[in-house]
Amino acid sequence: MVWIESTIEKHSHSRVEYMIKAKSQFKRRSTANNVEVIIPVPSDADSGKFKATTGAVKYVPEKNAMVWSIKAFPVRFYFLLFLTFMIPFFIFRVEKNI
């Protein structure tokens, strides 16, 4: 089993940051192979940047998700993924005619 922890921070209505921690929790001398972690992101997310301690990360727009692929996940290890997305921000201004 792989335990996933996440922290999501929204900044000034224009940016969202994710910190994802994946930690192995299986028996000694075991290794999980070809692990995929699917991280849902906002449908209007744009300009994604990411940094992972291991593995490959790709954006899958049709699923509104990032997929983090880890080839081999040894026992008692953890890996981190940092994601940053820009979110469109619109301000609607209503003017009154007096």
pLDDT, tens only, 45-94:
776 899 999 999 998 888 889 999 999 988 888 999 999 988 876 555 55
Over residues 10-31, the mean pLDDT reads: 86
Q: Does domain 2-86 have CATH number 3.40.1280.10?
A: no
Which carries the bigger pLDDT value, residue 78 or residue 15? 78
Q: Which residues contact 94 (CB under 8 A, 6 or more apart)?
A: none
Q: Report pTM.
A: 0.80
Helices (H) and strands (E) in the chain, counts: 0, 7
The residues spanned by each domain of the chain are 2-86
DSSP for residue 63: G
Q: Which of 18-22, 40-44, 50-54, 82-86 has the lowest mean pLDDT?
A: 40-44
Rounded to whole angstroms, how far apart are CA atoms 87 and 40? Answer: 14
pLDDT of residue 1: 82
